Structure 1
Amino acid sequence: MRKLAFGFCVVFLGLCVGTAPGRAQEERQPSLETDGEGGNFLVIPGIGKIPLPPGARAFGPRHSPDPESQRPEPKSAAPAPPKDPAERKAEEMARLLSRLEQADDEEAAQSAAAMILRRWAHSDSDTVDLLAARALAAETGGSPSLAQALLDYVVTLSPKWAEGFVRRARVRSEQGDDAGAISDLETAAALEPKRFDALAALGALAEKTGEKRRALDAYRKSLAISPRQESLRKTEERLRIEVEGRDI
C-alpha cells in the first residue's frame, strides 16, 4: 500500500511541477484517447494511459446529460402554400385602398387613386381588354355609337367586371342617355362597392336629373372611401345645405 500511495504521489507531483515554456510544455499536455471498444483514456506524457470510468470527462466536471440537449429538435412548420394570383391581387388592392383612405393630403390621395384606377382598368380576359381598348379608341376618336356597341359586348362577356359598366356609363352619358348611365353606374357600384369614381359620377348624374338626396348619398359614399377629394367635398357641402339646410 505504501508503494502504491508513493506512486500516486509521484504522479501528482509530476503534474504539479511547472516546466519551461515552449514545445516541451506543449508535449506534456494531457490528451484524451478512445480505444476501439469505447473505452476512454487520459494520456499523460511520461506516465501513460489512465483509464477513465464510464461517463467521466477528462477536462471538466462529471455531469448528467442536459435534458434540453436530449430533447429532439421540433419539426419545422410546413411552408405556407403560395398564394394564387387572385388572392395577391385582392391583398394589393386592399393595401392601396387603405392608403387612399388614410392619405395625409390630396397629392398622396391622387397618387393612390391613380394606381387603383389602373388596376381596375384591366380585366382577367385578354379578349375583354382588347375590346375595351378599341371602345376607348372609338370614344376618343368621336365614334360614341361604335364605342357603346363594343362595350355592350364587353359587359356581356364579362358581366362581373365593374370597369366595363363604368366605361359604358360614360359613353351613354355623352350621348344623353342619363338613365342608362345611372343604371350602369349603380351596377358598377354593386359589383365593386369601393368604386369611389363610379359613386362620384353617379352623384353628379343624379344631381343633374334633380335627384339631390340620391346625389348627396352617392357623394358621401365616395368621400368615405376617398376622403381627400377636395372638390367633391365642396360639392357635397353645397348640396347638403340645399337638401338638409344649415346647422343651427
Structure 2
Amino acid sequence: MRSVFAFLTVLALAIGPTLAAQADTPADAPADAPATSTAKTRQARLDKLFSDLGRERNEKAAERIAGTIWQAWLDSGSANINLMMLWAQKAMEAQKFDVALDFLDQVTTLDPTYAEGWNRRATVHYMMKNYAKSLADIERTLQLEPRHFGALSGMARIMADTGHKQAALDAWQRVLAIYPMMRSAQSEVSTLSEELAGEGI
C-alpha cells in the first residue's frame, strides 16, 4: 500500500500544476468550439499518443508519452470538475479518504462519462481496501476508456492482493499490450509467470 501511495504522490506532483491551471480557466468552451468537435479532436490526439506509446521502445520517452496521456485523461473539460479532482487528490495525499470520496462521488455524478473520475475513485477504494467497490469503478473506467493502463494496473494489484495470480498476470499482460515499456508491469509479469510455473499452472 505504501508503494501505491508513493506512486500517487509522485503522480500528483507531476499533474497537480496542470489541474490547478485548468481549474482557473472558464468552465465553458468557446462558442466556436462545439463539444462534439472538441471531443473528436481530443480522441484523435489520444489515439495518436497511444499509437506512439505502443511503438516506443525507449523507457524515458515512453514515460513522457504516458505522462501526456495522464494529463489528457485528467482534463474533464469542466473547470468545476477539475477543481474537485484537485481537492480529491489533496485529500488523498493527506489520507483523508472519506473526504476524497465525497468529492469523487460528486465528480462521477456530474459527469458519468468522465473516465478519470471513476478511476480516481477506484484508487481511493483500493487504498481503503474496499476491493469490490474498487473493481466496480475500474470496470466502469474501462468501459469508458479500454486503454486505461492505470485502471488495468489497479485491477492487477487487486487480483494479486486477493490471491488470484492468474487474473493478475492477465491484467498486467493487458497493460503491456498498451504500454510495452512500463517497467513495473514487466517486472510483475515476470514474477507472476515464474510463481505460476512453479505451482504447475
Same fold (TM over 0.5): yes
Compute the displacement of 1:164 (Å).
Answer: 0.6
Greater fraction helix:
2
Aligned match for 1:130, one of 83, 87, 90: 83
Which structure has the larger Rg over C-alpha atoms? Answer: 1
Distance 1:182 1:204 in 2: 11
Distance 1:211 1:245 in 2: 15
Distance 1:233 1:148 in 2: 31
Partner residue in 2 for 1:187? 140
Q: 1:209 to 1:147 in 2, by over 3 A?
A: same
Matched, 1:198 2:146: no
Compute the displacement of 1:245 (Å).
Answer: 5.3
> Aligned runs of 1:84-103 on 2, under 5 Å?
84-103=37-56
Partner residue in 2 for 1:216? 169
Given residue 221 of structure 1, which amino acid in structure 2 is its aligned partner?
Answer: R
Aligned match for 1:241, one of 184, 191, 194: 194
Given residue 135 of structure 1, which amino acid in structure 2 is its aligned partner?
Answer: A
Q: What is the TM-score normalised by the length of structure 2?
A: 0.76
Q: 1:244 to 1:160 in 2, by over 3 A?
A: farther
For structure 1, list consecutive stretches of 5 or more residues without a partner in the other structure: 1-81
Which consecutive segments of 4 or more residues in structure 1 shift more than 6 A? none
Q: What is the TM-score normalised by the length of structure 1?
A: 0.62
Helix, strand or coil at the partner of 1:84: helix
Compute the displacement of 1:241 (Å).
Answer: 2.8
Structural RMSD (CA):
2.1
Compute the displacement of 1:244 (Å).
Answer: 4.8
Helix, strand or coil at the partner of 1:228: coil
Distance 2:190 2:143 in 1: 25
Compute the displacement of 1:228 (Å).
Answer: 0.4
Helix, strand or coil at the partner of 2:105: helix
| Contact 1:134/1:150, CA 8 A, preserved across alignment | yes
Partner residue in 1 for 2:9? none
| Higher RCO (CA-CA < 8 Å; seq separation 6+) | 2
Compute the displacement of 1:246 (Å).
Answer: 9.4
| Contact 1:103/1:109, CA 8 A, preserved across alignment | yes
Matched, 1:155 2:77: no
Helix, strand or coil at the partner of 2:113: coil
Distance 2:158 2:100 in 1: 20
Greater fraction strand:
1
* Identical aligned residues as a percent: 33
For structure 2, list consecutive stretches of 5 or more residues without a partner in the other structure: 1-33
